[in-house]
Structure 1
């Protein structure tokens, strides 16, 4: 399998996916904001290229495309936000930031990588994995901004999956609350975390490795006949109701 680019590969789900792919011998190119963490993650993974930059900077994406190489086997955009606020406290700047990081960043990442993904597809297909949230399908209070942005990611994925087939497959993973650095402000409160966990049929929060396992599968050749799907890794939260 050709090299896979991972945006957000320095922590949480992105790093867990990077580890899962490296365990399979896949070459990687990591992208992240923090150059020091990025270099450390690349070193720990071994034989891994990297590009430091912020996804709110449009010039990052062509730079990644140039540095990652002319042939790619896949792309994973594991960058996101968790800004929870009631309607009255949401302002255009916060909403625009959510959209820019989650949806526009995903679009620009795929757009810049598309030529290399097509070149690397060979006789099969290259895989792209984007990330949504269970809140895009379920109505949760105080999730308006992030759910709107992630809903845009799902629409983007379906459109591009149709447009770029058969050379490029695009799928979306939609987790529920997962114990990542991004979610630490919620999960570090034991009482709150326990209460949210009890809302899931499997009675626990997700771990990065739970989500990474599916992302690594979807980007790889084992998922060669899977495209245009939004798949939940959510402990049953999107479709099951616990007792009570």
Structure 2
């Protein structure tokens, strides 16, 4: 079984996906900013290498590919931002940061890894998973910057799915609000979190494991006939109305 690279594999959805893939037997290579947390996660998971660096540094991506190996079975780009602000409070620097981390980082990660993914594809193809948000499909106030960046991720994924087929499959997972460290500024406010949970048909917020199970499946050979899809893990938020 070929190695899977996971950007953002030290916490939240990225770490949950790493655990789900290790449970399937996949060796891993984690990428994140904090070398200490990477080492800790690698020790927990076993059969796991790691590279420390920031995705805003273009030099990180070829280094990851060099250190992860010449044959890869998959790539998960589980890095993102949550910058919520009204239009009047947004500026070019904040918007550029969202775009660089969410969309450009995903592009550069795939571009650097593509030769190794082709080499390790096998009969089921190598699997790439990128992440969007329910806010792209729904349209929420104060989400202009992150929705624009994640919308670019969805467009990127569809284009790459067409270009890289049949050796490489590309899919997107679009969660609703999930209880991760990235979302803690929202979820730690119990009244706010409860109010948002009530907007979902399933009446709760997502957990990292909810999202990770789908991401691990999409990387795996079980999803050999799935590509070019944007799949919501959102408790029904994108398509169901339970009130009014």
1:13 deviates by 0.1
Q: State the distance in 1 between where 2:24 and 2:127 align.
A: 16
TM-score (norm 2): 0.99
1:97 deviates by 0.1
1:41 deviates by 0.6
Equivalent residue number for residue 33 of structure 1: 33
The alignment partner of 1:241 has SS state of coil
1:242 deviates by 1.3
Q: Deviations over 1:89-123 (max 9, x none)?
A: 00000000000000000000000000000000123
The alignment partner of 1:153 has SS state of helix
Moved over 3 A (4+): none
Equivalent residue number for residue 184 of structure 1: 184
Q: State the distance in 1 between where 2:217 and 2:26 align.
A: 12
| Number of equivalenced pairs | 244
Q: State the distance in 1 between where 2:23 and 2:217 align.
A: 12
Gap regions ≥5 residues in structure 1: none
Equivalent residue number for residue 214 of structure 1: 214
Q: State the distance in 2 between where 1:233 and 1:54 align.
A: 27
The alignment partner of 2:139 has SS state of coil
TM-score (norm 1): 0.99
Q: State the distance in 2 between where 1:99 and 1:145 align.
A: 8
Gap regions ≥5 residues in structure 2: none
Equivalent residue number for residue 71 of structure 1: 71
The alignment partner of 1:227 has SS state of coil
Structure 1 window deviating more from structure 2 (71-80 vs 117-126): it is 117-126
CA RMSD after TM alignment:
0.5
Equivalent residue number for residue 173 of structure 2: 173
The within-5 A match list for 1:228-243 is 228-243=228-243
Equivalent residue number for residue 198 of structure 2: 198
Q: State the distance in 2 between where 1:153 and 1:32 align.
A: 20
Equivalent residue number for residue 117 of structure 2: 117
Equivalent residue number for residue 11 of structure 1: 11
Equivalent residue number for residue 47 of structure 1: 47
Q: Deviations over 1:31-53 (max 9, x none)?
A: 00011111111111112000000
1:25 deviates by 1.1
1:124 deviates by 2.8
The alignment partner of 1:129 has SS state of strand
Q: State the distance in 2 between where 1:52 and 1:146 align.
A: 25
Q: Deviations over 1:3-55 (max 9, x none)?
A: 00000000000000000011111100000001111111111111200000000
1:197 deviates by 0.1
1:68 deviates by 0.2
Equivalent residue number for residue 89 of structure 1: 89
Q: State the distance in 1 between where 2:224 and 2:139 align.
A: 32
The alignment partner of 2:192 has SS state of helix
The alignment partner of 1:121 has SS state of coil
1:144 deviates by 0.1
